Amino acid sequence: MPDAEDVRTIALSFPDTTEKTAWSMPTFRVAGKMFATLPEEETSIAVRCPKEERDELVLAEPEKFWIADHEAAFAWVRVRLAALEDTDELRDILADSWRQAAPTRLLDSHPHLGRPATD
C-alpha cells in the first residue's frame, strides 16, 4: 500500500516540482501550479481531474475515489492511499494530475510523461 512518503518521492520526481505547505498540509506544485495535496492526515491525496472523469471514477470505485464537499465545484478528486494497488497506480494518478497542471514547455521537453488527453 502506498503511503505519504511514496507520494512525496513520486511527485518530486516529476520535472520542476516542489513541495510547499499550504492550508496546514503538504502540496505539490509544477512550475508553481498545484497538482496534488496530502490532506486527511496524509492518508489520501487530492489531485486534478476533469469533472466528467472525476464523476465516473467516483461511481466506478467509491472505495478509492471521492469528492470532498468543498471541492465539488472544482476539478479535483480525492484518492484513498490504502485503496491503491501499488506505487505504479499512484505514479499514474500523480502523473496525470502533473500533466494537467504543467506548462506546455515542460510537456514538450518531457515527452515520456505524455500530454493530457483532449477531446
What are the distances in angstroms from CA 98 to CA 60, 62, 69? 23, 23, 23
Per-residue pLDDT 10s for the chain (119 aa) are 899 999 999 999 999 999 999 999 999 999 999 999 999 899 999 999 999 899 999 999 999 999 999 999 999 999 999 999 999 999 999 999 999 999 999 998 888 776 544 44
**pLDDT tens for each residue of 44-62:** 999 999 998 999 999 999 9
Let me know: does 45 contact 81? Beta carbons within 8 Å: yes
Q: What is the pLDDT of residue 112?
A: 78
Q: What is the pLDDT of residue 119?
A: 40
Q: Look at phi and psi of residue 87 and say left if phi exceeds 0, alpha if psi is from -120 to 50, else beta.
A: alpha
Q: What is the pLDDT of residue 111?
A: 80
Q: What is the pLDDT of residue 59?
A: 96
The CA-based dihedral angle spanning residues 80, 84, 90, 94, taken in that order and rounded to the nearest 10 degrees? -40
pTM over 0.85: yes
Q: What is the pLDDT of residue 116?
A: 47
